[in-house]
Amino acid sequence: MNNKIKVLLIDDHAVVRAGFRLLLSSAENIMVVAEAERAEQALMLYSEHQPDVVVTDLSMPGIGGLECIRRITQRDSAAKILVFSIHDEAVYVDRAISAGAKGYITKNSAADIMLEAIYDIAAGKSYIETGLVLENKAIPDVLPPQAVLNSLSAREFDIFCLLAKGLTAHDISQQLCLSYKTIANYNTQIKNKFNVSSVVELAHIAIALGIS
């Protein structure tokens, strides 16, 4: 029992977490010690259980996955975090790694990929799923929109992605559990940073940068 890799699962969907737990239980040397449905809860559970590896989604209510990664690694520079996300775009991989994650795999990957990634990260290695690349290698840095994107905070990036997908400020405020006024302010800030006046223009920029 003591030699098992202790894992903290973070995903806002109970069914997904159940699938994770079932998969990881098939490995004799991995043990799920805690589960969280949002980042705020995960931060408390991390301190309580001190897991060897954190497996987290990026999209969730509250402060979000990227901010969760950043806060965990601020508290524990040795934290080993694996992102398991539906997003396979380079910008998400780059953001996650920049925030402090040690690995990134997608939810379309085979089951054995997750196990392999957990083993590698627990051993102190990094793990990026084959086929995924970092943004700064995929998109030239000279593009002005790219420079703006790199300057966004974790929260601004999350809201930018949601706006680009067509969600309204009201929709985003409910999804992220933030006030409408807060989202409206972020909306204005983000448009100003990209020097655009509409959400449609933000959507075009997102597409050009490989964000869907």
Instruction: Check which CATH number belongs to the domain holding 56 and give it.
Output: 3.40.50.2300
**Where a domain ends, among 72, 105, 135?**
135
Q: pLDDT at position 121, please? A: 92
Q: Do 119 and 179 share a domain, yes or no? A: no
Q: pLDDT at position 193, please? A: 82
Percent of residues, the chain, with pLDDT higher than 90: 30
Q: Do 105 and 30 share a domain, yes or no? A: yes
Q: pLDDT at position 212, please? A: 59
Q: Do 22 and 127 share a domain, yes or no? A: yes
**Where a domain ends, among 135, 166, 181?**
135
- Our count of domains for the chain comes to 2
Instruction: Check which CATH number belongs to the domain holding 203 and give it.
Output: 1.10.10.10
**Where a domain ends, among 81, 116, 135?**
135
Question: Residue range 123-152: average pLDDT?
Answer: 67
Q: Do 127 and 144 share a domain, yes or no? A: no
Question: Residue range 26-37: average pLDDT?
Answer: 90
Burial of 116 (0-12, 13-18, 19+ CB in 10 A): middle
For residue 170, the enclosing domain spans: 139-208
Percent of residues, the chain, with pLDDT higher than 70: 93
Q: Do 13 and 86 share a domain, yes or no? A: yes
Q: Do 80 and 155 share a domain, yes or no? A: no
pLDDT in tens, 33-49: 999 998 889 999 999 99
Q: Do 93 and 16 share a domain, yes or no? A: yes
Q: Do 117 and 145 share a domain, yes or no? A: no
Question: Residue range 75-90: average pLDDT?
Answer: 90
Name, in order, each residue with C-beta under 8 angstroms of 209's C-beta and a sequence gap of 6 or more: 91, 139, 143, 145, 146, 149
Q: Do 131 and 143 share a domain, yes or no? A: no
Q: Extract the tokens encoding 35.
A: 């589960």
pLDDT in tens, 173-209: 998 888 888 898 888 888 888 878 788 888 888 888 8
Q: Do 120 and 195 share a domain, yes or no? A: no
Q: Do 119 and 167 share a domain, yes or no? A: no
Q: What is the mean pLDDT of the chain?
A: 85
Q: Is a pLDDT exceeding 50 seen at residue 140? A: no
Q: Distance (Å, rounded) from C-alpha 41 to C-alpha 62?
A: 10
> Among 50-54, 69-73, 105-109, where is mean pLDDT lowest?
105-109
Output the pTM of the full model: 0.66
Q: Is a pLDDT exceeding 50 seen at residue 142? A: no
Q: Extract the tokens encoding 174.
A: 């409910």
Q: pLDDT at position 51, please? A: 95
Q: Do 123 and 178 share a domain, yes or no? A: no
